[in-house]
Amino acid sequence: MPTASHSGEVPARSKRADALRNQQTLLDAAAAVFVTSGVDAPIREIAARAGVGLGTIYRHFPTRADLVVAVYRHQVEACAEAGPILLAGADSPLAALRQWVDLFVDFLVTKHGLANAMQSDSSGFDALHTYFLDRLVPVCAQLLDAAVNTGEIRPGTHAYELMRGIGNLCIGRDSDPRYDPRRLVELLLQGLQRPPRSS
């Protein structure tokens, strides 16, 4: 564990680690607020949830677009890293796929405000979309393949089309509080399952 030097200063590596942890806490808080209140939520709501002052947020993320893009990248990475972990720890590949899809839906709800937040930067938006596909399609494919190999779902569904279908089901949640995309996503996943063999 790093210790303070005789001058009382904390080593630079420890400061960097603390700054990174603080930034992760901010991004987690912002993601949670974006899911419930949208990307236009007041910055003070994010600061309160993270337990920091407004100045701390603006020091890390000078504009709302900076914050939204950072949350987007943070969530892509969390989704990508979760796939193999869920697959290793769940009762079955299908259970892992369901849990991963739940995380993916949370992410998509946040993503819907991204285009508005980045209004004038269409090339930046395109680059983020490519990054999203490069990181998440292989993870979804791994989960699908594992569920096919255990006979839990039918073969033939491609990761990209499943993710696109889930994305389309999530559109409209913001404008209609009566609409619950998770219910329809669950129906979609049920449709992938192999019917049980009759004895």
Q: Tell me what percent of the chain is helix, strand and coil, each rounded to the nearest 5.
A: 70, 0, 30
- Separation in Å, CA 129 to CA 36, 50, 54, 56, 61: 23, 27, 29, 28, 21
Cα distance between residue 46 and residue 27, in whole Å: 9
CATH no. for 9-62: 1.10.10.60
pTM score: 0.79
Q: What are phi and psi of 153, to 5 degrees?
A: -130, 160
Predicted local confidence at residue 31, as pLDDT = 87
pLDDT interval class at 173 (50, 70, 90): low
Predicted local confidence at residue 2, as pLDDT = 45
Cα distance between residue 41 and residue 49, in whole Å: 12
The percentage of residues in the chain with a pLDDT greater than 70, rounded to a whole number, is 82
Predicted local confidence at residue 198, as pLDDT = 56
Greater pLDDT, 116 or 99: 99
Residues 43, 57 contacting (CB under 8 angstroms):
yes
pLDDT 10s digits, 12-66: 666 677 777 888 889 999 988 887 787 888 999 999 999 999 998 999 899 888 8
| Structural domain spans, the chain | 9-62, 65-199
CATH no. for 65-199: 1.10.357.10
Question: Is 80 exceeded by the pLDDT of residue 153?
Answer: yes
**H/E run at residue 27:** helix 12-37
Cα distance between residue 179 and residue 128, in whole Å: 27
* Equal fold, 9-62 vs 65-199: no
pLDDT 10s digits, 92-109: 999 999 999 999 988 887
